[in-house]
Amino acid sequence: MIKISNLILISHNEQYNEANYVVTTQPGEYVDAKVDVPAEMTKEERDQIRWVASTVIWDRGPNFTIENLHENASGSRIRVKMHEIYSGGGLAWLEPVFPGEAPTNKTPNGIFVRSTGRKGIAKIEWREYKEKHNGGKATEKFYGQYVELHVYTQGLYGHNLHLRLSDYLYGNKDLTFDEDTNETNNDHLATELIQQVKIYEDAGNPNRKLQKAIFKIYLEHRWMRLAAQYTRGQEIEIGGVLAAEGIKPFHFTDNKDLLRVKKKSPGDTHANPASKEGNKPVVIGNVMTEVAHFNNCRYNGITKTYPGTEEATLFSTKQDINLNRKILDVGVVSTKDSNKKLTISLQEADVSHCHRSKDLHQKETIIDATELQAAYDDVEISEDGTQLSFTPVYPYEHIEPLDDVKFFTTYFPAFLPPEAKFTIPVHSCAFEKEVKIAIHPDVAFALHLHIGKPKDFSGKNKNYYRKVNLDSNPQHKLVRGLKKEMKWVREISKEAKIVKRHLPNATLNSIVEEIVYDYIEKTAEDIGVGLHGYHSFGTANQPTIINYAQRYEWISKTMIITGVLLSAAVDALIIYITRKPASAVKMTTTWQKVKGAYKIRKRFVSHKKIIEKTLSGKPIDPASPNN
């Protein structure tokens, strides 16, 4: 005899979980329950005691009312039997209700009863789609229709069944599932369907109830195209495999269990209308199997707030968010000197009804911030224990003193920058959650390439170019041109004049050489390269900047040289494409062409010097984007 508050269970076969108030029986066994009523209570008053004896549906939750009182359960003592069709783990709620009162839906005033027995799948049936699931048996269907797969089970009430389908007509090809009947985007195809085992009316006898799962399947046109890839036909025969926790996979591949699917021909009629929705990979069941969710030592939600972001709900019983998920992930991006507070709040938290050890769940211990407090000094927990806040500052490395190479290899996105991770357990009898906080570094990298950017940002150019004044900031300044490199090349060239003057066409070579040098230098000045790292954002526009382009100038110069070569290739291609036909070209000597080019160069250099002297004396940099 087990006494629970004012309720006495009388049975010698059942198993009882005292922590969660759960009685477990075998299918078809009885549980005797008796109310421990006061001795002065009359028989007439005892007979007016009513009982809630009902299976628990999560859609309704722990919210039974006097309308849910069982019509055949009254008095201070009753006998309850869990029918075999409820075997498998689904829960029933048993609670006495005194006259003039309502169900409390709380332990220990009531208890849970569950029945567990042998688990297995008995058989499957393909049936025509009907909203009441009473369609006739189906052996042949058309693409674009619905069909139902009825799976008859035992000992699996409340369990999820996983279904995979294959075509067994040719080569056992696996079939995938698409929620979109238009079948235009096949990027996210599911490999299985999931349904929960519930209680349904027998399709052939509405007065009989059975334990089974029903899969509503859309016969996708895509499967016909798949069949055509490896056969010359368009028909398939569908079978598959079913799996659930605690049982061996159930294969239905015999001819009697296969469904033939074919293309609709003229004159064929649909047995049901075409579907307007595709296959639903996961269907959430509503049979309650988790006892702890009813416990009154509980919280009903967890939220996260952080300045600059919207409030996020991490867990909610009312909105059915992460109900069965233990790990709740939170990510924030933090600067080195951040003063933003991250807050984790519990909704409707109450541990005052904890019937377990009084030291286990108290308001001071609902949120366990031990790990966080070891790393941060400003961790605050509210007096009622339902709110935690702290400033998530990221522990940067390689900044003081600066090691730009290690900073790059540590924080560049391709190298997966390390996170600062902390775990915050959130306790109660009903729910045990862990909030996993990952603090990410507020670091950015930018590559700037300026190629022939105009000086004039007004007029027709304003719609095509954005004015970015990078060169005005010494930390941001781009690396431009090849002046130092070209000066070195010219000096080498001068030293080689003794050799060059003995070569044929020495004068001509010298002129061509100068033209090429001018072309390279002018083109290089139009190219600017910048690679910058940013950290410690005091404000959005004032970070600390690491100018990698200037620190490692050889990389920038290599990019500029590459740009010059590409520009030369493009110019040559344009000249080649726009050339005149050979018959229309007036033949001139090579000397005449070079002589004309040399005159143009001399005129350009002369005019440039006059303009520079006429103005403020300051040379004009045509490559600067902001002059």
pLDDT of residue 501: 52
C-alpha 163/C-alpha 155 separation (Å) is 18
Residue listed under structure tokens 């797969």: 149
Q: What is the mean pLDDT of residues 508-515?
A: 64
Query: Between the ranges 148-152, 424-428, 481-485, where is the mean pLDDT highest?
Result: 148-152
Query: How much of the chain, in percent, has pLDDT values that exceed 90?
Result: 17
Q: Give the closest residue to 104 by CA, choosing from 7, 37, 34, 24.
A: 7
Bridge partners, 477 (sequence order): none
Pairing status of strand 198-202 against strand 193-196: unpaired
Alpha-carbon Rg for the chain in angstroms: 40
Q: Which residues, other chains included, contact 435 with Cβ-Cβ below 8 Å and sequence gap of 6+?
A: 302, 304, 314, 328, 330, 344, 423, 424, 425, 426
Residue listed under structure tokens 């003063």: 339
To 5 degrees, how large is the angle CA 430–CA 434–CA 438?
A: 160
pLDDT of residue 619: 45
C-alpha 81/C-alpha 31 separation (Å) is 6
Residue 552 gets which letter from DSSP? T
User: Count of CB atoms within 10 A of residue 471's CB?
Assistant: 19
User: Is the pLDDT assigned to residue 454 strictly greater than 70?
Assistant: no
pLDDT of residue 29: 79
pLDDT of residue 206: 81
pLDDT of residue 57: 61
What length is written for the chain? 627
User: Is the pLDDT assigned to residue 608 strictly greater than 70?
Assistant: no
C-alpha 125/C-alpha 108 separation (Å) is 43
Lowest mean per-residue pLDDT among 86-90, 202-206, 332-336, 503-507: 503-507
Q: Which residue has the higher pLDDT, 196 or 449?
A: 196
C-alpha 155/C-alpha 28 separation (Å) is 12
C-alpha 284/C-alpha 325 separation (Å) is 14
**Residue 118, CB-side half-sphere exposure with 13 Å CA sphere:** 3
User: Count of CB atoms within 10 A of residue 496's CB?
Assistant: 10
| Per-residue CA distances from 609 to 411, 451, 483, 490 (Å) | 48, 25, 18, 20
User: Is the pLDDT assigned to residue 395 strictly greater than 80?
Assistant: yes
Bridge partners, 33 (sequence order): 9, 78
pLDDT in tens, 573-592: 776 676 655 544 444 444 45
Lowest mean per-residue pLDDT among 479-488, 546-555, 583-592: 583-592
Q: Which residues, other chains included, contact 474 with Cβ-Cβ below 8 Å and sequence gap of 6+?
A: none
pLDDT of residue 559: 81
pLDDT of residue 625: 42
User: Count of CB atoms within 10 A of residue 582's CB?
Assistant: 7
C-alpha 338/C-alpha 536 separation (Å) is 9
User: Is the pLDDT assigned to residue 504 strictly greater than 60?
Assistant: no
Architecture in CATH of 2-115: Sandwich (2.60)
Residue type, position 225, single letter: R
Bridge partners, 280 (sequence order): none
Query: Between the ranges 9-18, 295-304, 485-494, where is the mean pLDDT highest?
Result: 295-304
Pairing status of strand 30-35 against strand 77-81: antiparallel
Do the domains 120-262 and 2-115 match in fold? yes
Helices (H), 204-246: 221-230
Q: What is the mean pLDDT of residues 456-480?
A: 57
| pLDDT classification of 122: cutoffs 50, 70, 90 | very high
C-alpha 59/C-alpha 286 separation (Å) is 6
**3-state SS record for 19-66:** CCCEEEECCCCEEEEEECCCCCCCHHHHHCCEEEEEECECCCCCCCCH
Q: Which residues, other chains included, contact 381 with Cβ-Cβ below 8 Å and sequence gap of 6+?
A: 364, 367, 369, 387, 388
For the chain, give every domain's residue range.
2-115, 120-262, 295-442, 447-614
pLDDT in tens, 417-430: 888 889 999 988 88
**3-state SS record for 334-400:** ECCCCCCCEEEEEECCECCCCCCCCCCCCCCCCECCHHHHCCCCCCEECCCCCEEEECCCCCCCCCC
Query: Between the ranges 20-24, 195-199, 583-587, 622-626, where is the mean pLDDT highest?
Result: 195-199
pLDDT of residue 128: 93
User: Is the pLDDT assigned to residue 465 strictly greater than 50?
Assistant: no
Q: Give the closest residue to 173 by CA, choosing from 220, 236, 233.
A: 236
Q: What is the mean pLDDT of residues 108-131?
A: 88
pLDDT in tens, 54-103: 877 654 455 788 888 888 888 888 888 878 888 887 788 888 998 889 98
Q: Is 132 exposed, middle or buried (0-12, 13-18, 19+ CB in 10 A)?
A: exposed
Contact 321, 313 (CB under 8 A): yes
| pLDDT classification of 626: cutoffs 50, 70, 90 | very low
User: Is the pLDDT assigned to residue 463 strictly greater than 50?
Assistant: no
Contact 287, 157 (CB under 8 A): yes
Residue 580 gets which letter from DSSP? P
Q: What is the residue-wise DSSP string for 89-130?
A: S-EEEEEEE-TT------TTTSEEEEE----EEEEEEEE---
Contact 453, 465 (CB under 8 A): yes
Residue range 120-262 forms a domain whose CATH class is: mainly beta
pLDDT in tens, 349-367: 887 767 665 556 666 678 8
pLDDT in tens, 155-190: 898 888 999 999 888 767 888 888 765 555 555 678
Query: How much of the chain, in percent, has pLDDT values that exceed 70?
Result: 70
Residue listed under structure tokens 């008859």: 152
User: Is the pLDDT assigned to residue 151 strictly greater than 90?
Assistant: yes
User: Is the pLDDT assigned to residue 471 strictly greater than 60?
Assistant: no
Q: What is the mean pLDDT of residues 44-62?
A: 76
User: Is the pLDDT assigned to residue 343 strictly greater than 90?
Assistant: yes
Return mean pLDDT, the chain. Answer: 76
| pLDDT classification of 346: cutoffs 50, 70, 90 | very high
310-313, Cβ contacts within 8 angstroms, sequence gap of 24 or more: none
Lowest mean per-residue pLDDT among 282-286, 494-498, 523-527: 282-286
pLDDT of residue 240: 93
